[in-house]
Structure 1
Amino acid sequence: MNPFPDFQPRGYRIQRELGSNRSGGRITYLATELDTQQSVVLKQFQFASTAGWSVYDAYQREIQVLRGLNHPGIPRYLDSFETDDGFCLVQEYKNAPSLAEPRSFDPEDVKQIAVSLLSILVYLQNRIPPVIHRDIKPENVLVSDDLQVYLVDFGFARIGDGEVAMSSVVKGTLGFMPPEQLFNRQLTEASDLYGVGATLICLLTATKSADIGELMDDNYRIDFKSRIPKVSLPWMAWLEKMVQPVPAKRYANASDALEALKPIYVNRVPTVTAKPETLELEATKLGETLTATVMLSNRVPDTVLVGRWEFVSHPKDLPSKPEKHHWIRIKPDRIEGNRSLCKIKVDTGKLRANAVYHRQLKFCSNAEPETVTVDLTVKTAPVPIRLPVPPLRRLLVLFAMATLLSFGVDTWWGTTLFVARSIARSIDNLWSM
């Protein structure tokens, strides 16, 4: 049994379900138009079983809006008809998945999506009266493989200044509604920009629509900068302005936002150089602390170098985390800036004397290349040669003995000479007799 409703008498055959909001009484189908065999999107609204017929007039006004739209980024209105419990809206089918499906886009792709989406909003806001979509989010933005962008689901759209004003029911999606919409205040042409900015931030940070609250602080401000370090500062500033909680701090309209975005180079990556690339330190005494400096520099405009120092593991080092070392310290060990002087300290008191050590320091960052290395050579001081020092008492004894010995020899020699001279005189006297 076919589980889908039978719309063949109306000229359409259901192929499969594309999505649903059953609590709101809306189911979206992929269908085939029997006359042309073209694929179409058929949205079934069931008022009788959900919200009641009181909202029927609002959807009738939506149909009138869609009938008047003619833009390649908006699926064309084709048909509508009443059913027993509501009505059906038929639109052009675009073979493109929504941004809610997991996909990977680089910053340049995201900028192209932003330009296309803002171009659609420029068209809507230039209409008389202007059209406010009120529900821009990843689920309502379709993007093909070749980056063709389509804005869908105008179920919450309103037209003109009068209808953009406050209503009795807040409609939209939490996290993508601007605060003025959330608190049921008057909307402006800047209101849809908030949803555009939030959608782009989800793409750049790989955040699911349901998790966008994780990026928000208590002031309804989206904090995303730390999650996308490899984009230019103007690109981040542009995104930040798009999601300002206060409407007056956003761009006034889609045209202003588009003009500000076009000249921005978004995919900006810093570079990093380390000088010097080699360090040779030599200690002159045991236990000496040796110091040296390394300058980290980034010369790419509109970028900020962010990174941290690590130590390349060595088989003779004690086990530790990459950012820790037993006898080497680096301050600061974490960097955020384009010119940073880092001090390297080596504690040779933890090393063997008269030895040479070779280690590598590694700086990991958001730059290109992602890592740079500094070679470090440390030579420790030799052990000094020392002659043994005899005790003081022994020195005194040796000195006394030497003195006595010297005195005894001199006395013996003098006596011997005196005796010899006396004998010689006696012999002389005998010969003379």
Structure 2
Amino acid sequence: MNKFMEFLENMLLPIADKLNNNRYLTALRDGFMVALPLIIFGSIFVVIANFPFLDKLLGEDAYTAYQNALGPASAATLSIMGLFVIVGIGYKLTQSYGGEAIYGGVVAAFLILNPQELDGVTGVIPTAILGAQGMFLGIFTAFIAAELYRYFVNKNWTIKMPPGVPEAVSRSFSALIPITLTLSVFLVIRILFSFTPFDTVQNFIYTIIQEPLTALGSSLPATILAVLLCQIFWFFGLHGQIIINSVFDPIWYTLNDENLKAFQAGTELPNVITKQFIDTFLVGMGGTGMTLAVILLIFLIGKSRQVKELGKLGGPAGIFNVNEPIIFGLPIIMNPLAIFPWLLAPVVVTAVTYFAMATGIVPKPAGIIVPWTTPIGISGFLATGNSWRGAVLQIVNLLIVMAIWWPFLKIMDKNYYENEKAKK
């Protein structure tokens, strides 16, 4: 076991450290965080607009009017969340260089590369490409635009205003040439692509890159690999959620948005794996590794003072999916007795959840972004479009994790108990 752990540590720690400190992955992660309040706002109103049995209580016409009244809340946030993410990524990347961050989020570069025609009407940007469909192009555009803007600024290709000019005016003129040059680059790219069969960069990216990657990210093997790597990183003391989400979030959010559109349209949900699949049925059960099950076991079988006190300390936080007290206090990090259940339980739960949803036993995630601090049961109900079966699945998953952890926690607790008795 020691040699195996040493092998994993030597192999994974250097990779994880590089990923954790990568400027672009950090900007990607933080860019999504910028958009998160708006995404949650839109998701809340999707839930409110689709409360169960409302159509029966209000009648068809009143229910339609009710949904139409609340519709703009999600249309103005979730449907165009790509815009918010793009601005956030460009802003955070430029900020990491110490530049004028607000000008780094040059969202116009993304808009230039997209179709500006819908159903024969020019001057109209389809909202679909401002959401999930345009997410991949938006991410690449945000990185490139921010880097171009920084390059032109570092070349001092800026307008210097005389002293006494208000600071806001001076900043605007200082950014004028870098932004003009940056947008000109993207305009040239758009013109070049107009001579290809794809017509626009958006069509090219979606056809050649986004569709294949999204299909890969929605598969069970890829999801299990992501979950397993997350657990391994955490075992060695690295924030696995940050590292893995930086890579997979663009795919999972895209799949999430596709389900949301289908849910709102009343059609079949296309994806099992989504962002909410991960956040609600894995992370949303006490935090990474679903350690709410460990807390419950502590109260059921714990005898040692160390474990009992840990349960009291970690219990309230665990209800709201904060599990650092358990990870560092049990401990799970670098604990040979914890590595097997820590790695196995999330993989088993991922497979069980996937097959439960793929077979229709439980509804697929409806694309509704449920805040990650929402307690178990409530989050499963909301994430599946107000279905009680989502809550039941969370309870089943919790019992599975408890069963896997039981013998290992029993051994840990016994060791702590005997050590405490020996010290008396």
TM-score by length of 2: 0.23
Bigger radius of gyration, 1 or 2? 1
Which structure would you say has the larger RCO, counting Cα contacts within 8 Å and 6 or more residues apart?
A: 2
Hey, which of these two has a bigger chunk of strand by percent? Answer: 1
Hey, which of these two has a bigger chunk of helix by percent? Answer: 2
TM-score by length of 1: 0.22
